[in-house]
Amino acid sequence: MTAAVVRQRAQARLSRLVLQAPSLIVVRRGRKTAAWGGQSLTTGAGQAVLLAEGCFDITNHPDADGLYEAFWLSWAPDVLAPLRVAAPAAPAVTLPVAPAFADALEAAFRAVGDPGLPDAVAAHRMSEIVHWLRPLGAVLPRAAEPDIAQRARRCLSDDPARKWRLQTLAACLKMSAASLRRALSRHGGGFSDLLIDVRMSAALNLLQCTDLPVDRIALDVGYDSASRFAVRFRERFGFAPSALRGHRR
């Protein structure tokens, strides 16, 4: 259960962004485009987009005044089980945000971000949003059994700052290092690339969800050098870590 604000003054494209849990993004200013598998969907101000787990190219477009602003809510995958359908379903859907729904969204967002509220209250507000989604036509694809790359990503994501080695990850997955190397190669990558991507994704989340300074985030995702972390982040996303900040619990 997570919530965050994203504000940008320049267009930003987040390529190959892997979502490990469904997310609902409510666009306040500007537009958001989600692209996957040769398809794309654009959500404008005053609308919301529900994204399933998966890999997307995300572009945030500022409005005429030069500002993009949105907030997002994210649930554990099993919480949205009522929205899963057996029939083929797109991994992204745009939803209208009528005033009553907007009030419920804002209440959930504030609850998740309020450290003075018990977690149970925040969870209740978030569960209310699930009850809003189905009548609005929101459905999600049935969750597939995770492949080896997804399982590896989850292991790494549990502790991105750990001094990971291929052998350590293989032990986590209860397989040999050679088998893991071959499996990751079949999925189009290797251990080092996957580790960097997981760490950069974790950093992106911390930049959006916390007020931690960049040097602390660098440490939290496994980099002793803030400058080296910043270089990696810019290589991965195309902009500096300081360009994208939000805050919520």
pLDDT at residue 248 greater than cutoff 50? no
Quick one: average pLDDT of 229-248? 80
pTM: 0.85
pLDDT value at position 11? 85
pLDDT at residue 208 greater than cutoff 50? yes
The span from the CA of 35 to the CA of 55, in Å, is 9
Q: What is the chain's mean pLDDT, rounded?
A: 90
- Amino acid residing at 140: L
Centre a 10 Å sphere on the Cβ of residue 100 and count the other Cβ atoms it contains: 9
pLDDT at residue 207 greater than cutoff 60? yes
pLDDT value at position 224? 93
Q: Do the Cβ atoms of 133 and 73 come closer than 8 Å?
A: no
Split at pLDDT 50, 70, 90, the class of 249 is: very low
% of the chain beyond a pLDDT of 90: 66
Split at pLDDT 50, 70, 90, the class of 103 is: very high
| Of residues 243, 163, 147, 148, the one with CA closest to residue 203 | 243
pLDDT at residue 94 greater than cutoff 80? yes
> What are the tens digits of pLDDT across the range 106-142?
999 999 988 899 999 999 999 999 999 989 989 888 8
Residues with Cβ within 8 Å of 137's Cβ and at least 6 positions away in sequence, in order, are 93, 95
- Amino acid residing at 17: L
Residues with Cβ within 8 Å of 152's Cβ and at least 6 positions away in sequence, in order, are 169, 173, 180, 184, 194
pLDDT value at position 187? 81
Q: Please tell me the least confidently modeled range out of 1-15, 94-108, 212-226, 228-242.
A: 1-15
